[in-house]
Structures are given as C-alpha cells and as structure tokens.
Structure 1
Amino acid sequence: MSIKIKQDLPCSSCISNYLWHDPPQEKKWADCVHCGMCLESCPTYQQTGEEQHSPRGRVYLIKAVAEGNLQVDEDFADPVFSCLDCRACTTACPVDIDVGGLIEEARGQVRQAIPLKGWKGVVNKFFLHSLFPHSNRLNSLGSLLRFYQQSGMQKVVRKTRLLNFMPKHLAEIESIMPEIKGSVRKKYPSVMKAKGEQNHEVALLTGCVMDVFFSDIHKATINVLTRNGNDVTIPKNQTCCGALHVHAGDREMGRKLAKQNITAFEHAEKVIVNAAGCGCMMQEYAELFRDDPEWKARAEKLEKKVVDISKYLHDTGYEKPKAMLNTKITYHDACHLAHGQGVRKEPREILLDIPGVKMVHMPKADTCCGGAGIYNITNPEMANAVLKSKMEHVPEDVEMISMGNPGCMLQMAMGVQKYGRNQKIVHTIQLLDWAYQKEEGD
C-alpha cells in the first residue's frame, strides 16, 4: 500500500479533512518529533517493518489529514484499524504522545466517512448495538451456549469436525470457549455483605462479555472482596463499558453507554473492575465528552473511582492467605492494565503473597498478545502473528499463566492450544480466591 500526501501547507492555511464532530486533537500529536523510540514497542511495526504501521507513522498520517494533505479514505483506514491500540508506544514515548487516543478518534472519523456495509455492517450492528448493550439478550445467549456445552452438542460438533466448515479463526475461538456458568448479575443479589467487619462499600462492574463467559472470575472477585471487609453492590442499571464500540469507531454509541454507566455508578465509593480493557475505558470516559461540560465533569468524577481489583486490594490491604497452592506460574501484563492504567507491581505482589506460588519471569511480559478486544476476529492474520511472538517468550516450565483481562485469557488460551503447551490460563484474582477456599476447606 502506498499513501500519497500532498505538499505540506503552512499551518495557517491548513484546511482539515476531518469533516465530522470529535476529530483527533492537535494537542495529542503536537509534541511528536518522529524520534522512533516507539518503533520497538509496536507489535504491528515489528511484524511488517512498514512505517505506516508504526506509531509515529500513524501519528503522521493523522496529522496529515488534519492539515488537508490526506483524505479519510481506505488507504488511511487500513493503518488506523490495523493498530492494536495496546498503548505500549505511549509507555515508550519520551513525551507521552497519546497514540491510543488519536487512533480511537481517527477511527470515529473513518466510520463516519466510510460506514461498514454488507455483511460486515450487519454483523457490526448486531453485536455492538443489538447484543452487547443488552444484558437480557446476553443472558439468553449465555443460556444457549451453556445448553450447547452441557447437552453434548459441543462434543458432537467437535468430534464430527463440523468446525472445519467455519472460518479458521472462528473455529479456533470456539475450541477454547470457556465453560459457561451463568450470569452473576442475574443470579446474585444487588448487595453482598462483607464477611466479618465491614470497612468499605464498593460497586462491581459486571460488563457484557465478561458476565457471560467469565462469571467465575466475578464470583472470585466477590468472594475476595467480601472476605476482606467490603460490601459489594451490583448496580442493575449498569451496562457494557463501551470499549469495543470506541475501538470500532462507534464513538456515539460509546457515549451513550458511558452515560448509562456514569449514572449507574455515580454514588459508588469505588468501582471495582476485573477486566483491564473495561477499566481503562471507564478511566477515559471524559475524553468522550470534551465538548459537553456537564457530562465531562460527571465523567471525571467517576474516573477517580474506577480501580482495578488488584490495585484496590494492594492499596486498601488484604488478608494474606495461609493455604499452600504449590504451583509455578508466570505473569502476562494485559496492555490496558500495564500501559493503560499503569498497574504492574500490584498483581505480581498479590501472587507472591500466596504460599507455595513460585513466579517465573516472562521476558517482554508487557508486549501485546494480539487479543485486543475483538482484534483476533477482525484482523486474524496479524493477531496470530503477534500471538506467535508472544508465545515464544512464555516460559515452558510453568503450570499457569496469570493475567487480568478476559480478552488476553482467550487469546493466550488459543496460543497454549496452538503451540502444544499445557499451561492453564487464570485470572490473578482466581488464584487468591483458590488459596482462600483451600484455607477454609482445611
């Protein structure tokens, strides 16, 4: 792909080719000097070696459109949507250029200029508008998937190789589908009281996909929080965090969902999140309302309350488990936890506080696994290439790989299966909960 950029114009005579509301902000690219410090951190640049698939290349293209030197067309859309939005480049950048924010704003412009059509448009609208924002529909989907697993249909489908008729990357996702155990939001009461003395009251984000596919992680989170003196509330009027929508360029739907969550969690002392991507999104809600002072102010108040479960436990204190787990593990930094929220040491310290847990260092632990929300569905070839690089750094002599994001868990489970490994993929909070349960059992 070649991109032709018109001769640079003096800034005073620039006419932006961003023609819609909410374009990329100049303050986010103004300090970029194209030094190249970001190149080594970028998964797509490491795979392609192409400048337009590097952070500085994408920043240059985004700036070129703002200066009227490039159109919002398919050639522009390709590098913008091939980005994993992993934020590693911002960590590497000496002046903290917000490439992730620029990418998300640019995607919003692309989707207004070039709306998805045909089957892609139908699928996109179904999942982002008709499914994820509606908990009742998600619960119905969860019930169907649970029936599919428990009735024996899944075994028949796999044994007869019917999956061979599906696109390869979708068949791979089905092969590592976790056991569906039922929605926490649907089954649990609105308030779970602390076990023993109550010290804090917190609210839990149940999210969308998380509550269908990973409700066991929610259960572990609630167990650990109540064990450590927290009353846990589950606001019933909460919804999907909107991260998938914003990443897909649907910023208007992202704003709608953000408003619903801001209202739902407005009176919470703290909002606990156990999915890195969701937590990062909620901590950036104010960016969606930069032209709406009222909602921006409300979003900023909520952002201060949102905290990852590992950081919350680390900062408020938790009971050190006494039971031995006797396992050897390694830790993968979810991009939106390490790069997006700056949470690195906290989950590691929790793991090291569990008796019998031996930690093995993973080289390049904070490089992306290729999951990136639904990136492994929309960009399967690049996602698989990034996953292959990631798995090369996973120590072979460990029994478990711990992390703090559901998208990473699915992607890493695929890597374990694809490359003949036998490690178990776990969420950090599950290990702490298992240690508590074993202690209670003893």
Structure 2
Amino acid sequence: MTERTEPGFDALHPPSRELLDDCVHCGFCLPTCPTYQLWGEEMDSPRGRIYLMDLAERGEIELQGAFTEHIDACLGCMACVTACPSGVQYNRLLEATRPQIERNVERSRSDRLFRSGIFALFPYRRRLRAAAIFGLAYQKLRLNRLAERVLPPRLRATQALMPPVKLRNAFASLPRRVKPDGPVQRRVAMLSGCVQDVFFHEVNVATQRVLAAEGCEVLTPRDQGCCGALGLHAGREDHATKHAKRTIETFEKLPVDNIVVNVAGCGSSMKEYADLLADDPEWAERAKAFSAKVRDVTELLAELEPRAKRHPVKAKAAYHDACHLGHAQGVRAQPRAVLRTIPGLDVVDLPEAELCCGSAGIYNMVQPEPAAELGERKASNIRAVNPDLLVTANPGCLLQIGRYLDGDIPMFHPVQVLDASLRGRPLP
C-alpha cells in the first residue's frame, strides 16, 4: 500500500480532469444503474460516484471510508455508458479509480484475505480443477444445506454459485487445431478461459465445432492462461498487466485473422489491452495490434456468411445481455442475429434488460447482499416472459442467474444453441 500524507488520489494515473468534466449531472444514467435502483442513494449512482471522484481528484476528500464504500458498491456494469447522452466514459473513470483504492486504502484483514483467496484460485485452471474435485464431494455430501446455515454471507454466496461439477469435462483438453470440411473462410485463435474451460468446457467444445462448421480453422493454444479480466475490473492493475502481457505473447505469434472469445468479461478486457498498456513503450503497439483482432464469438459469426445447414430448434429463448458484452463492447444485435438464423427459435428480450444480474466479475462474492437482490430481480424478469430456455454469453451470468432460477429454466450459451441446430440434435 502506498504511504499517503494527503487526501485524494496519488499521482499514478488518477481519473483525468477532462473525463470528470464531461459529466453534466443530467441524471439519464439513474434508471439504468442497478445500485441506484436498489437504494435510491445519489452517491450510489454514476453521477454521484463521479462527484466523489471529482472531490478526490481535487484533494478535498480522503479515499478511506465512505468513498471506498460507494465505489466498491458499483458493479462496473457500464449501463450508464450506454445511457449517457453526453458520452461520459465512466468505464475509464472507474478503471482509474479502483487501482487507487487498491493501492491506498487499508482494507480489513478478512476483506484482504477473501479477495486474495479469489485471485489465488479463479485465474488458475489447475487450481480450479483441484477445487472441482472438492466441489464434487461437497455436492455429493449435500454440504450446501449445512453451509447455508453456518457460513458467513460471502462464503455462503460463493458456495451457492458452484455449478454441478463434471470431472470429465473439468479435466478434458481441447484439440489444438480444428479444421473445417470445406474452404477456410477465416483462421482464428480461441481463448479457452479459466472458469470457462473448467466448469463450462462444453461451451468451448461447441464454439470450436460451430466455428469449424462455418468455415473457420480454429487454433487453441495449450499454453494460454488467464487474460487478466478479473484483476482489471477489480482494480488489481499489476495482476491485469501481467496476464495481459502473457496473453499477448501467447497469441500474437499465431498466424490468425482474429482472436475469438466466448466470455463477455474476457473479451471486454482484451479489447482494452491497448489502454491498459498504453504507457509501456515495449507493449503499447503490440497491445493495440492484439486488441484490434479480438472478437466475441457471436460478433465473428455475424460477420461470416452462414455456411452450415440449420435444423429447427422449436423453442422460446429469452436472451439476457451480459453487461460486458452489451454495455462494454456494444455487441447486442449480433447474438440475436445469430440466434435468429435458427429455424423455429423465437428470441425474446427481457423486461429491465439493461439492469445487471448481479454477477459483475467478483461482485456477487464480495457484495453478496445487493447481488442477491439483483439476481432475484433478474430471475423474476426472466420468468415473466415464460421462456423455454435462457441464453446468455457469459459464465458469470450463467452461474448467478442459475442460482436464482433454481433449475426452473435451462440455460445455454448462444453457441450451444447454434451447435445443436447445426448438428440436428436436441439441446443437452
């Protein structure tokens, strides 16, 4: 932690005065802000948090205490960026503010340990696989019922998010190269992810199959690791920078047209590597070239001319916009367009579609109470449209929403639905 003798931000990349001054405090962000909708508190709205950042930038308030509480309460969902008529870049303001807190604010011992535990586990596939073994035993012994009674809220929320564990999938490997049957339309490399590859391995398998069926040669390097998304969104700049550089090193040597991501949070961060490494003369141009190649899988599929035959999937599918896909990347039309190429599939939107489900990276673990309120609210909005299935493009959303739907409605990634259609098979 940096030694502080004055209130306000330190000199290392504080939120810029120019970006702070863009906010005219009009209030268009308020209806889309999850925490403002929950509590109606001005300082828990985007414009309220910008006001706090403004005061801190001027050195008029300290970061310890109320400032940190209000910034910590922000999900970072970026719905306000979509809603803002003035083009305020709240995403850049938040990503400059959170590292200030991580460097300069003394958290409680329990908070430090809990956050450190998250970052010691989730970015590492080998550790996640070990956790999957424990998780399987935990589920078979039905310890979750006991945990609901005895664990503190954060640990209770974390264990409740655990998906049904399949060790066969958790320890499976993806083929390093998948070729299409016909001519190659596009050569791509795929990020397999951390949580995605261990707990949602079947989504990666479906992604490879769908891309190959649509004429892509797919390379999936074995030596890839965490992309740094969790660290970037939580203000752990060193973590994010280290993993971003490793990811660039892994993928930049591959002769591909695009780098494909099927996790909204990862794709959002990878598209921001150019900003993250802008001040590093060795990495700035490499990061810029890398980020220019990144595509969400639905974004890429929407660019390609459909090649494979679609078989009917007769179902009503509710589509949930993952915040880091819709708000952060602006990818909204493409997933819907891809799904609507499937005969018989009725794609419907949700009420309050702009509101976050409460997942938001590590938010549902470190802020379990508001995350639970948002999860219940999202589940109610899903049930309101009476769908046969829910489709969303982020594992965090699948885990969070699944907790509150409680198995009532099957949930899938868009590529799983398309994969079932291309293969002429029922959804799993």
Mapping 1:175-214, distance limit 5 Å: 175=160, 177-182=163-168, 187-214=173-200
* 1:140 partner letter: A
Identity of aligned residues (%): 36
Alpha-carbon deviation of 1:382? 0.8
Alpha carbons of structure 1 residues 198 and 439: separation in structure 2 relative to 1, 3 Å: farther
1:438 to 418, 424, 427: 424
Task: Kindly indicate whether structure 1 or structure 2 has the higher relative contact order, using CA contacts under 8 Å at least 6 residues apart.
Answer: 2
Aligned equivalent of 2:360: 372
Gaps of 5+ in 2: 1-5
Measured against aligned partners, the alpha-carbon deviations of 1:188-226 in whole angstroms (never above 9, x if no partner) come to 232222233222211111121111111111111011011
Aligned equivalent of 1:96: 87
Aligned equivalent of 1:251: 237
Aligned equivalent of 1:142: 132
- How many equivalent residue pairs? 418
Alpha carbons of structure 1 residues 307 and 223: separation in structure 2 relative to 1, 3 Å: same
* 2:412 partner letter: V
Aligned equivalent of 1:12: none
In terms of mean alpha carbon deviation, does 23-32 or 81-90 score higher? 23-32
Alpha-carbon deviation of 1:184? 7.8
Instruction: Work out the CA distance in 2 between the residues paired with 1:100 and 1:356.
Output: 38
2:70 to 65, 79, 83: 79
Instruction: Work out the CA distance in 1 between the residues paired with 2:376 and 2:426.
Output: 40
Measured against aligned partners, the alpha-carbon deviations of 1:6-41 in whole angstroms (never above 9, x if no partner) come to xxxxxxxxx982125222222322211111111111
1:165 to 126, 150, 167: 150
Mapping 1:279-358, distance limit 5 Å: 279-319=267-307, 321-358=309-346
Alpha carbons of structure 1 residues 163 and 35: separation in structure 2 relative to 1, 3 Å: closer
Measured against aligned partners, the alpha-carbon deviations of 1:170-200 in whole angstroms (never above 9, x if no partner) come to 4465455133355689612322222332222
Instruction: Work out the CA distance in 1 between the residues paired with 2:13 and 2:204.
Output: 35
Partner-residue secondary structure (3-state), 1:393: helix
Partner-residue secondary structure (3-state), 2:386: coil
Mapping 1:261-276, distance limit 5 Å: 261-267=247-253, 268-276=256-264
1:154 to 114, 139, 144: 139
Instruction: Work out the CA distance in 1 between the residues paired with 2:66 and 2:149.
Output: 33
Aligned equivalent of 2:390: 401
* 1:283 partner letter: K
Partner-residue secondary structure (3-state), 1:187: coil
Alpha-carbon deviation of 1:131? 2.9
Aligned equivalent of 2:213: 227
Given that 1:181 and 1:216 are in contact with CA atoms closer than 8 Å, whether structure 2 keeps it comes out as no
Alpha carbons of structure 1 residues 183 and 262: separation in structure 2 relative to 1, 3 Å: farther
Alpha-carbon deviation of 1:352? 1.5
Instruction: Work out the CA distance in 2 between the residues paired with 1:440 and 1:318.
Output: 21
Gaps of 5+ in 1: 1-14
* 1:353 partner letter: T
* 1:272 partner letter: V
Given that 1:86 and 1:335 are in contact with CA atoms closer than 8 Å, whether structure 2 keeps it comes out as yes
Given that 2:197 and 2:204 are in contact with CA atoms closer than 8 Å, whether structure 1 keeps it comes out as yes
* 1:278 partner letter: C
Instruction: Work out the CA distance in 1 between the residues paired with 2:388 and 2:27.
Output: 37
Alpha carbons of structure 1 residues 25 and 236: separation in structure 2 relative to 1, 3 Å: farther
Measured against aligned partners, the alpha-carbon deviations of 1:100-152 in whole angstroms (never above 9, x if no partner) come to 22112211001111244523323322331x3344333333333443x52xxxx
Given that 1:44 and 1:83 are in contact with CA atoms closer than 8 Å, whether structure 2 keeps it comes out as yes
Alpha-carbon deviation of 1:233? 1.1
* 1:415 is aligned to 2:404: yes
Partner-residue secondary structure (3-state), 1:359: strand
Given that 2:157 and 2:364 are in contact with CA atoms closer than 8 Å, whether structure 1 keeps it comes out as no
Aligned equivalent of 1:10: none
* 2:348 partner letter: V
- In angstroms, what is the RMSD of aligned CA positions? 2.4
Measured against aligned partners, the alpha-carbon deviations of 1:238-295 in whole angstroms (never above 9, x if no partner) come to 2212121122221111111111111111134211001111100111112222322331
Alpha carbons of structure 1 residues 202 and 289: separation in structure 2 relative to 1, 3 Å: same
Alpha-carbon deviation of 1:397? 1.9
Alpha-carbon deviation of 1:391? 2.8
Alpha-carbon deviation of 1:46? 1.1
Alpha-carbon deviation of 1:358? 1.7
TM-score (norm 2): 0.91
Instruction: Work out the CA distance in 2 between the residues paired with 1:256 and 1:80.
Output: 24
Instruction: Work out the CA distance in 1 between the residues paired with 2:340 and 2:140.
Output: 38
Instruction: Work out the CA distance in 2 between the residues paired with 1:195 and 1:184.
Output: 28
* 1:43 is aligned to 2:34: yes
In terms of mean alpha carbon deviation, does 179-188 or 32-41 score higher? 179-188
